[in-house]
Amino acid sequence: MKRILTAFVTVAVSYCALCAQAPRPTSHVVGKPGDLTMNVNGDAAGPVAITGGKLLTVTHGVIENGVIVLSGGKIAAVGGPGTAIPKGAQIVDAKGMTVYPGLVDAETNLGLIEIEADLSSNDLVETSDEIMPQMQVAEAFHAETVRIPVARLNGVTNAIVAPASEDSVAGRDAFIQLYGHDRDQMILGRDVALAMNFSGEQRRQARRGNPPKYPSTRMGLATQLRQAFLDAQNYEQTMAHDTEKQNADKKAPPKRDLKLEALLPYLKGEKPVVLGAHEGYEVEVAMELAQEFHLKVILSHVEHSQDVLDKISSYHVPVIVGPIYTAPAPNERYDAVYSLPAQLQKRGVKIAIASYDTQNVRNLPYAAGYAVAYGLPYDEALKAITLNPAEMFGWGDKLGSLDVGKMANVVIANGDPLDVKTDVKQVYIQGIAVSMESRQTKLRDAYMKK
Amino acid sequence: MRVTHLRRQALLAALAAFVSIPLAAFSQQPSTAPADIVIKDATVMTASHGTIPHGSVWVHDGKIAGVGTSVNAPASATVIDAAGKYVTPGIVDPHSHSALGDDVNEATSPVTPALMMVDAFDNSDKALYQALAGGVTTELLLHGSANMIGGQAVVIKNKFGLSRDAMLFPNAPRSIKFASGENPKRVYGGRNESPSTRMGNFAVMRQAFEDAKAYTASWDLYNAKVKRGDKDAVAPKRDLKLDALADVLAGKMYVQIHCYRADEFLTEEALAKEYGYKIRAFHHALEMYKVGDKIAPTGTAIATFADWWGYKDEAWDAIPWNAVMSMREGVRVALKSDSNDYIRRLNQEAGKMIHYGGATEEEALQMITINPAWIIGVDDRIGSIDTGKDADLVIWDKDPLSTYARAEKVYIDGDLFFDSAQPGFGTTHFSGPMHEAGFGGADDDGDAQ
C-alpha cells in the first residue's frame, strides 16, 4: 500500500504542470459543434510547447528531443530542439517521454451501449428490418458514456462509432472525438460512412421457437441487398421525374422515402461503405455486389480470408482488419489472424486496426503492437491506428499525424505507445489537456486513500 | 506459396510410410524426450528468485535439475542456445472452460457438487492448442457460474496431441466451483425458481450445507454402531451430491468461488466460517480493491481479470488497478482467462499490471505462474523455475511481459509440445485432422515462422 502510494505521488509531482491545466468541470456551453479551440470554461487554449520528448510523427519519422507547439487547437510547429517556441507558451517537459498523435479507432460502439447485460442501455442495432440506412448513429450516441474517458486515458482521441452488425445495412457511422462538453462538440462527422455487412449474422434464421423469415440464407441476403440498391436507383429517377411533373402541375412534392434516399450518397460513391465480411467467399460475394453498384468500399474484418488475400489486394480498397484477437478457425494456424495485418500490408493494402468494442477500446494500441509481433512493420502498425483510419474516413488532412496545421490531438506517454507496460501521462485534444480522470481512476483514488 | 504446404504433406506422408504409425489424431506415445536438456544463455525469469541474465536451465528426466548462471549438466545433454531469448515457467490458468464444449454449466439445479468436469473434457479441442501456443501449460477447467455450488474441476497439463489420460495433472488436489451474485439469480430467477435474489443465493447454500451435515451425522452414527459391533446397523444410502458436500465441509476440496462484489466476499467468508470450510480463491473478484485488507488475513486468494469491466452491473466498479491494489493489501493475486481468447496471451495481461499500479516484473509474472499454481494447489510442483519442479518451460523470442513476445518453444515435463519453427502448426504430438486440412494460413509464406 505504502509503495504504491509513493509511486502515485511521484507521478503526480512530476506531472503537476500537466495536471494544472486540466479543464474544470462546468455546465455552460461554449464553442461551435466540433470546435474546441476554446475549452469548456470558455478559456482559449493557450499555446503549449511540449519539449524534450521523442516525437513519433507518423508522416516524417521520429524526432528525438523534439518540440511540438500546440496553438489555437492546432499543431503550430513540429521539429527538433531548435524549434521556435512562441512567447508565453506553457512549456511541458516531456524528457524521457514519447509523444505521438492521438489514436484513431476505426470501429467502435462507443456511446451505443453502457453495460452489455443491461438491455435498457443498448442502442447497438435496429433489427426490425435488415436494410436500415436511415438509422443514424449520431442520434443515439450517448456523449456522457463512462466508456469514453476510460478509452481516452490510453491515448485514443478519435473513433468511428458504428452500429452492431446484425443488419445487412445497419445504419450510418459517426466520427467522434473523445472529448467535448456535449454531443455537438464530440461528433465531428455525422454520417461519414454506411455500415454494411455480409457475414451470415444478418440471416433471420429460426430462433427461440420463431420460424425463419426472409432472408434466412446468404442467397437471400445478397438478393435483398441488390433489390434495395435497385430500388434506391429507381427511387431517385422517379423522384426527379415526379418532382418535375408536380412542380409543373403546381402540386405538393411527392412523398419522400427516407430509407431509399439515405442510400443515394453511397450509391453515387460520395461516401464510403464499410463492408464487413469474415470468410473469403463472403468477401468475394460482397465485393461483386459492391462493384456492381460502384460502391466506395472499406473492407472490414476479413479474419478468415487468408485464401483470398491476393484478390483482396487487387480490389485496391482499404481494409479494417480484425479484431486480430479473433480466434482462428479450427483448421487455421494459431497465428492466422494475428498475422493478417502483416499479410495485407505486405500486399500493398492500406490497413487500419480497430477494437470493434466499447470496453476494450483502450486496448487498441496493444492490438497494433501484437500485429508487430506477427510481422507488421512498427511504423505501419502505428499508422494503422492513426493516419490510415483518419484517411479512410476523410479526415487525413486534419488528424492522424504530428504535422503543422492538423488538430492538436497529441499524447504523452512514458514509453512505446504499443506496449502494454506503457503509461499514458497526458492527452491533448484540439490543444486542450483533457482530464486524465475517469470513473475508474476516481474509484481507484477513493479506495487507495482509505 | 504452396511450398511449405507441400513440404508438410510430404513430411506427413513420409512419417506414415516409414514409421508406419497411422495419422490418427490421438493416443500417440509421447516422443521420448532426451534425458538431459540445457537451455543456455537466456534471460531466465524464475518467478521465485528473480531474473538471471545469461542464465541456464537444466532439465533432467522431465524435472528442473538446475538453474543459474551455470548448471552442472552432463556433457551429453542436448543444448538449446537461447541467446537473446527469455525463459519463464509455463503459464498457469486457474480459470478456464476450454475443452468442455457446451457442457460448462449443468444449469438445472443450483446445487450440483457431484458433477465431475473430467467427464466432459474433450482433449481434441483446438482451444487447447491455441493456448499452448501462447505458453499455457496448466489449466484448471471449471464448471460455469450458473450454480451456487457447481461441479468439481479437472486440472490438466496442456499436452495437446496426447491421450485424455496423459493430459490429466497427476494427483492434483480436488477443486469445486461455487458461484454467487448475478448469474445464479438470472438463471433460476428467470425461470421463477429459487434463487432469484442474493438472499436466495445464500439461503440455497446454507440449506445444502445443512443437508450435508445431517448426512455426515447419519454416517457417523452408523460408523459408531459398526465400531461398537452392532450387527443390525444399517448403512445410510449413498448420495453422490451429499458425499461431495460432506467432502467440502471436511476440507477435502478447494473451494473456488465466482464472486464479484465487495459485500459478497464478506458474506462468503462469513458463511465459510459458519460451516467450517476454507475458500481457496475468489474468481473474478473485481471489487477486491475495496476490501483487500479484510480478505488478506483469511488467506483467500483471487483470480482476477487484468482490465475487463462493465459488461454487467456487478462488473461496473471494476478497475484495472484491482490486482495490484489487492496484492499490496496482502492478497495473493492471480490473473486468469475465463476465455478461449485471453488464454492465448495471458503474458500480456500480466504486462499490463506494470502499467496499472506498478507491479514489478516478478510480481507480474507470479500472477500467471506461481500464484495460480497455488490456487490450484500444485505450487510445490509447478509455477516457478526451481530445482525439483516439473520442467514446464516457455522460451519467448522477446520480453514476455511486453506486447511483442511470441512463445517459440513450450515444454511440459521436459517434453517439447509446441515449437513455432516446426512446419505447419507448430505442434509436436498432434497429427490429426487439423494438419490434414493442410491449410497453413500465414505460414504459407514462411515469414511467420
Q: What is the DSSP string of B356-419?
A: TT---HHHHHHTTTHHHHHHHT-TTTSSS--TTSB--EEEESS-TTSTT--EEEEEETTEEEEE
Residue whose C-alpha is closest to residue B251's, from B272, B265, B223: B272
Q: Which three cell numbers stand for residue B97?
A: 472452460
ipTM beyond cut 0.95: no
By three-state DSSP, how is residue B5 classified? helix
Residue whose C-alpha is closest to residue B436's, from B61, B3, B16, B1: B16
**A117/B contact by beta carbon, under 8 A:** yes
**A116/B contact by beta carbon, under 8 A:** yes
Subunit contact B402:A421, Cβ cutoff 8 A: yes
By three-state DSSP, how is residue B154 classified? strand
Give the nearest partner residue to A440 out of B129, B320, B447, using CB atoms: B320
**A142/B contact by beta carbon, under 8 A:** no
- CA-to-CA distance for A403 and A104, rounded, in angstroms? 16
- Main-chain dihedrals φ then ψ at residue B144, nearest 5 degrees: -75, -170
Residue B30 has pLDDT above 60, yes or no: no
Strand ranges in B158-271 using DSSP code E only, listed in sequence order:
175-178, 254-259
- Positive/negative CA dihedral, B66, B70, B76, B77: positive
Which residue does chain B place closest to A305, by CA atoms? Answer: B441
Q: B132 and B158 in contact (C-beta within 8 Å)?
A: yes
Give pLDDT, residue B140.
98
Q: A175 and A393 in contact (C-beta within 8 Å)?
A: yes
Give pLDDT, residue A33.
36
Domain ranges of chain A: 24-101+400-450, 103-399
Which residue does chain A place closest to B313, by CA atoms? Answer: A115
Subunit contact B130:A327, Cβ cutoff 8 A: yes
Three-state secondary structure string covering chain A = CHHHHHHHHHHHHHCHHHHHCCCCCCCCCCCCCCCCCECCCCCECCCEEEEEEEEECCCCCEEEEEEEEEECCEEEEEECCCCCCCCCCEEEECCCCEEEECEEEEEECCCCCCCCCCHHHCCCCCCCCCECCCCEHHHCCCCCCCHHHHHHCCCEEEEEECCCCCCCEEEEEEEEECCCCCHHHHEEEEEEEEEEECCCCCCCCCECCECCCCCCCHHHHHHHHHHHHHHHHHHHHHHHHHHHHHHHCCCCCCCCCHHHHHHHHHHCCCCEEEEEEEEHHHHHHHHHHHHHCCCEEEEEEEEECHHHHHHHHHCCCCEEECCCCCCCCCCCCCCCCCCHHHHHHHCCCCEEECCCECCCHHHHHHHHHHHHHCCCCHHHHHHCCCHHHHHHCCCCCCCCCCCCCCECCEEEECCCCCCCCCCEEEEEECCEECCCCCHHHHHHHHHHCC
- Measured between beta carbons, the chain A residues lying within 8 angstroms of B437 are 331
Give the nearest partner residue to A333 out of B127, B345, B441, using CB atoms: B441
**B89/A contact by beta carbon, under 8 A:** no
User: Strand A351-353 relative to strand A62-71: parallel, antiparallel, unpaired?
Assistant: unpaired
**A382/B contact by beta carbon, under 8 A:** no
Domain A24-101+400-450, CATH class in plain words: mainly beta
List of residues 6+ apart from B122 with CB closer than 8 A? B99, B100, B101
Give pLDDT, residue B268.
98
Q: Which three cell numbers stand for residue B448?
A: 511467420
Give contacts of A 153-192 with B, CB under 8 A: none
**B294/A contact by beta carbon, under 8 A:** no
Subunit contact A334:B310, Cβ cutoff 8 A: no
Residue B400 has pLDDT above 80, yes or no: yes
Subunit contact B403:A444, Cβ cutoff 8 A: no
**A9/B contact by beta carbon, under 8 A:** no
- Number of other residues whose CB lies within 10 A of the CB of residue B74: 11
First to last CA, chain B: 14
- Measured between beta carbons, the chain B residues lying within 8 angstroms of A336 are 441-442
Subunit contact B289:A147, Cβ cutoff 8 A: no
Question: What stretches in chain A show pLDDT beneath 70?
Answer: 1-45, 449-450
Residue to mutate among B8, B355, B403, with most A CBs inside 10 A, is B403
Subunit contact B441:A444, Cβ cutoff 8 A: no
User: Nearest-CA distance from A148 to chain B in Å?
Assistant: 13
Give pLDDT, residue A288.
97
Angle between the N-to-C axes of helices B288-295 and A439-448, in degrees from 0 to 180, rounded to the nearest 10: 20
**B426/A contact by beta carbon, under 8 A:** yes
Give pLDDT, residue B31.
52
Which helix (H) or strand (E) segment holds residue B282: the answer is strand B279-284
Residue whose C-alpha is closest to residue A180's, from A5, A449, A409: A409
- Measured between beta carbons, the chain A residues lying within 8 angstroms of B1 are none
Give pLDDT, residue A449.
62
Give pLDDT, residue B435.
63
Architecture of domain A103-399: Alpha-Beta Barrel (3.20)
Residue whose C-alpha is closest to residue A337's, from A352, A322, A348: A322
Subunit contact A335:B340, Cβ cutoff 8 A: no
Q: Which three cell numbers stand for residue B268?
A: 462468503
Q: Tell me the average pLDDT across B402-408.
A: 98
- CA-to-CA distance for A354 and A371, rounded, in angstroms? 12
Residue B266 has pLDDT above 50, yes or no: yes
Residue to mutate among A98, A331, A347, A450, with most B CBs inside 10 A, is A331
Give contacts of A 242-301 with B, CB under 8 A: none
Q: A195 and A163 in contact (C-beta within 8 Å)?
A: yes
Residue B27 has pLDDT above 70, yes or no: no
User: Nearest-CA distance from B433 to chain A in Å?
Assistant: 8
**Comparison of pLDDT for A244 and B185, the residue scoring more:** B185
**B54/A contact by beta carbon, under 8 A:** no
- How many A/B residue pairs have CB atoms within 8 Å? 150
Subunit contact B289:A375, Cβ cutoff 8 A: no
Give contacts of B 92-151 with A, CB under 8 A: 126-127, 129-130, 133-134
Q: A313 and A225 in contact (C-beta within 8 Å)?
A: no
Subunit contact A366:B357, Cβ cutoff 8 A: no
Q: How far is CA A6 from CA A12, B357, B363, in A?
A: 10, 11, 18
Residue B24 has pLDDT above 70, yes or no: no
The pLDDT tens digits for B32-63 are 567 899 999 999 999 999 999 999 999 999 99
DSSP letter (8 states) at residue B195: -
**A335/B contact by beta carbon, under 8 A:** yes
User: Nearest-CA distance from B134 to chain A in Å?
Assistant: 9
User: Nearest-CA distance from A169 to chain B in Å?
Assistant: 26
**B80/A contact by beta carbon, under 8 A:** no
Residue to mutate among A304, A333, A444, A450, with most B CBs inside 10 A, is A333
User: Nearest-CA distance from B414 to chain A in Å?
Assistant: 22
Provide the pLDDT confidence category of residue B424 given band limits of 50, 70 and 90.
Answer: confident
Give pLDDT, residue A247.
83
Q: B278 and B253 in contact (C-beta within 8 Å)?
A: no
Q: How far is CA B237 from CA A31, B194, B220, B234, B427, in A?
A: 78, 27, 13, 9, 48
- Number of other residues whose CB lies within 10 A of the CB of residue B218: 14
The pLDDT tens digits for B149-163 are 999 999 999 999 999
DSSP letter (8 states) at residue B207: H
